[in-house]
Amino acid sequence: MKKDLQENICDESVFKHIYNKYAKDLTAFLYYKYGGQHSPSDKAQDAFIQLWNNCKKVTLDKTKSFLFKVANNLMLNEIKHQKVVLKYQKTHQVKEDYETPEFILEQDEYYECYKKVLEKLTEEQRVAFLLNKVDGKKHIEIAEMLGVTKKVVEYRIYSAFKILKSELKNFSIK
């Protein structure tokens, strides 16, 4: 009976603890998997709202998987919606630039090269690499977040780094 009381997600203090434990990681995971243009922090908040609405149905040990699954589905729905928006914007696009054509060309070329290299990475490599190098997470933290071993995370980061280094000129990370 005491264990059931401790695992009640509907309790405000338990929910607050869950939020503090997973909010940052969930937002970072969504950002690295889908990018920043689809409001990963908003989707993470929406996932917590759905957890609160379903707090009686979700057990404490399934909380993390519930949050990540719901947030992932919210992002996929947002991407579907954005496809419609982008299709409309392409037909009604007006662009004004105040930068030199050379700068814009170089920026576009680098961006395209960078996107191509990121596309060559597997999703696992990209997520592990960005969590480590951009967010500064340790290998063991990434392993726990993704549900794999530390060695798997190290391999994914190393292989992603190797691909980026071979494909991009003057690529290095401190």
Per-residue pLDDT of 38-56, as tens digits, reads 788 888 999 999 999 998 8
What does the pLDDT average to over 83-93?
A: 76
Residue 47: CB partners within 8 Å, gap ≥ 6?
Answer: 26, 67, 68, 70, 71, 74
Q: What is the pLDDT of residues 140-169, one digit of tens each?
A: 999 988 899 999 999 999 998 888 888 877
CA distance 153 to 141: 10
Count of C-beta atoms within a 10 Å radius of residue 127: 22
Task: Report pTM.
Answer: 0.49
pLDDT above 50 (res 4): no
CA-to-CA distance for 75 and 55, rounded, in angstroms? 21
User: How do residues 161-173 score in pLDDT, each as one tens digit?
Assistant: 888 888 877 666 6
